[in-house]
Amino acid sequence: MDEALLEVEDLHVHFPTPDGVVQAVNGISYSLGKQEILAIVGESGSGKSVGVLSLLRLIPTRDCEVQGSVHFEGRDLLQLSDAEMREMRGNRIAMVFQDPMTSLNPVLRIGDQIQESIIEHQGISEKVAKGRAIELLALVGIPEAEKRYRHYPHQFSGGMRQRIMIAAGLACEPSVLIADEPTTALDVTIQAQIIDLVKRLCREIGMSVIWITHDLGIVAGLADRVAVMYAGKIVEFAPVDQLFKTPQHPYSKGLLNSLPRLDTRSEKPLEAIEGLPPNLIHYPTSCPFLERCSYKTEQCQTPPEKQSISTTHEVWCHHAGKL
């Protein structure tokens, strides 16, 4: 892979609470290439959403402490002033959120919500912005865009609203689109449409995507590379086909074993991963997956270092390559 567009290094996000510091993200590093779709997979509370929200500093700073660096277009996003950060948001890096039913403002026309970032960042007139908003609506597959431009969010279905969210995200032709579980609230057929839409737009516009999900089924058909997160850390990082064929981390294996398969006849029930993730206030000094791992040994009392299986496949497990 050539030059990285976005480079996250040793990102930590901690939330001080009255009960102690919640260590939501603990030193994750990854890079995003041009026109690449990177999926970040993990269960609820694994820090995947917080990890990307902190890239755009969308978590109020009084609530959390962010450390590390995020290099993008030659600058560290975490060091930017508030005004510089606003310049980035929606303009160079856009975001699409999980729930399209609550992520659009119910009292504003959708056209207005799509064009407001163009007006903000490019300083063009409302008339020009309107034309652009209608183009965007057509681009994401909203029929009768001209008429629908004037409608309110409640006049659209969930899938349509997520298309509108994507249109708003694409408005300034950002180089990175961060999608935080954009299909979780949608039913399966609509999910497939949204995924196809994003893949097509990624190719056409030449944009990179970070796609957050807990659904490995989506990842297979969508992503180029996958990062598996567990308890605020990346435990495995691999190209999508390698992760599905030869998962190295016991957690990734467990996730894949818990998926139903259509290609093999099996009488076996689906396997679940026993136990619960560790308490993020009292972060374990051992390998965080220790409690739930069926391969654990003495070695696992110390946190694992990065092991490279190949140039593109990395895993954080003492037993990497030996399972």
111 and 133 Cβ atoms separated by less than 8 Å: yes
**Which SS3 state, helix, strand or coil, does residue 160 take?**
helix
Which of 4, 58, 205, 309 binds another protein (CB under 8 A)? It is: 58
DSSP character string of 164-213: HHHHHHHTT--SEEEEESTTTTS-HHHHHHHHHHHHHHIIIII-EEEEEE
Which of 22, 40, 64, 94 binds another protein (CB under 8 A)? It is: 94
Using rule CB under 8 A, residue 168 touches another protein: yes
Look up residue 318 and give its two tokens: 């003492």
Distance CA 294, CA 10 (A): 28
**Which SS3 state, helix, strand or coil, does residue 22 take?**
strand
Q: Which stretch binds another protein (CB under 8 A): 70-78, 88-96, 243-251, 265-273?
A: 88-96
Using rule CB under 8 A, residue 177 touches another protein: no
Q: Which stretch binds another protein (CB under 8 A): 31-39, 86-94, 130-138, 258-266?
A: 86-94
Using rule CB under 8 A, residue 95 touches another protein: yes
Question: By rule CB under 8 A, what count of residues binds another protein?
Answer: 27
Using rule CB under 8 A, residue 1 touches another protein: no
- Least Å distance, CB 72 to another protein, is 14
User: Which CA distances in Å does 218 have to 40, 154, 193, 195, 205?
Assistant: 11, 27, 12, 8, 22
Look up residue 107 and give its two tokens: 């009292």
| 62 vs 265, beta carbon nearer another protein | 62
Look up residue 70 and give its two tokens: 């995020």
- Least Å distance, CB 313 to another protein, is 32
| 89 vs 214, beta carbon nearer another protein | 89
- Least Å distance, CB 273 to another protein, is 30
User: Which CA distances in Å does 80 have to 16, 94, 101?
Assistant: 23, 17, 32
Using rule CB under 8 A, residue 110 touches another protein: no
Distance CA 177, CA 93 (A): 6
Q: Which stretch binds another protein (CB under 8 A): 25-33, 104-112, 136-144, 297-305?
A: 104-112
Task: Name residues contacting another protein, limited to 119-138 (CB under 8 A).
Answer: 120-121
Which of 79, 105, 279, 312 binds another protein (CB under 8 A)? It is: 105
Which of 75, 147, 154, 282 binds another protein (CB under 8 A)? It is: 154
| 192 vs 205, beta carbon nearer another protein | 205
Q: Which stretch binds another protein (CB under 8 A): 67-75, 114-122, 248-256, 290-298?
A: 114-122
Phi, psi of 153 (to 5 degrees): -55, -35
Q: Which stretch binds another protein (CB under 8 A): 116-124, 127-135, 257-265, 296-304?
A: 116-124
Using rule CB under 8 A, residue 301 touches another protein: no
Distance CA 194, CA 41 (A): 18
CB neighbourhood size of 74 (10 A): 5
Residue type for 147, please? K
Burial class (CB in 10 A: 0-12, 13-18, 19+), 322: exposed
Q: Which residues bind another protein (CB under 8 A)?
A: 56, 58, 86-91, 94-95, 97, 99, 102-108, 116-117, 120-121, 152, 154, 165, 168
